[in-house]
Amino acid sequence: MSMLNGAANNRLLAALPNSDRQRIVSMLNGAADNRLLAALPNSDRRRILASCEPVELALAEELYAPWVPLRFIYFPISSFISLIMPTGDSGAFEVGMVGNEGMLGISLVLGAEVSSQRAVVQGAGLALRMEAAPFRRELRRSKALRGEIDRYLQLRMGQLAQATICAHFHLLEARVARRLLMTQDRSRANTFRGTHEVLASKLGVRRVGVTEAASSLQQRRLIHYSRGDITVLDRRGLMAAACKCYKADRESYDRILGQ
Ligand SMILES: [Zn+2]
């Protein structure tokens, strides 16, 4: 917030047309709200920001399609993105979520031009995006960026392993509770969009199973849902209903990212 106020009070910025000023203010504000960018030394962050542009991501917008060359990487600010692996029989399974703790476009870090996964916006909001070529240059130039991304990669690999364990061993109701908590954390709101169809497709299960699980959580007054909006009424209760993966994920965030 101090960055935002600072930028608005700067004489040079104040003289710019509204749209330009808003763009710069969004970027400064956004950099502070993306953990990966915030962890960089000032000089590196400034240089990287100069190659970024703020974008508003819309709900359900597809940012990456499988095997299509990646044009941009994204640093989410208030948005968050779901990583979805097609299962080959027109189904899909969510293998991770990217919020303001990290970035979308890890394939480029690993030297690939494409990704096997779809990336779909699950929480609308602001992100900073950067074209692939300047991002690759920064990876070579900034040791700090590379180091932060390496730690983030470790986190994402852990997230993937956890998703596999969760799908294989845990009961659907506990998985639904976990998924709702993960969404609540990233949307930073008690109410968010989430139909049973979408939830079922992310968890790789049939819709009827999600409906039963959500009804049970609603009967216990942990959540309330109506017309595609889900409200968390009792976060503590929902945490008790969730499988252990939720806590394990949070612990790895704390350990690896030191949050
Ligand atoms: Zn689980």
- The whole-model pTM stands at 0.84
The whole-angstrom distance between residue 203's C-alpha and the CA centroid of its chain comes to 16
Residue 30 scores a pLDDT above 90:
no
Q: Using a CB cutoff of 5 Å, list residues around ligand 1, an ion.
A: 166, 170, 243, 245
pLDDT of residue 3: 45
Multiple choice CATH, 34-142, 1.10.3720.10, 3.40.50.2300, 3.30.930.10, 2.60.120.10: 2.60.120.10
Ligand 1 centroid, distance to 181 Cα (angstroms):
12
Name 230's bridge partners: 192, 225
Ligand 1 centroid, distance to 128 Cα (angstroms):
31
pLDDT digits (tens, 9 = 90+) for 164-204: 899 999 999 999 999 999 999 988 889 998 888 888 888 88
CATH number of the domain at 171-243, please? 1.10.10.10
Ligand 1 centroid, distance to 234 Cα (angstroms):
19
pLDDT digits (tens, 9 = 90+) for 66-117: 999 999 999 999 999 999 988 877 778 888 899 999 999 999 999 999 999 9
Ligand 1 centroid, distance to 107 Cα (angstroms):
26
- CA distances to 25, 156, 250 from 253, rounded to whole Å, are 28, 10, 5
- Determine contact, residues 25/32, Cβ cutoff 8 Å: no
Residue spans of the domains in the chain: they are 34-142, 171-243
Ligand 1 centroid, distance to 125 Cα (angstroms):
27
Instruction: Please state, in angstroms and rounded to a whole number, the distance separating the CA atoms of residues 81 and 84.
Output: 10
> Tokens for 38?
């915030």
DSSP 104: B
pLDDT of residue 79: 94
Ligand 1 centroid, distance to 171 Cα (angstroms):
8
Pairing mode, strands 229-232 and 223-226: antiparallel
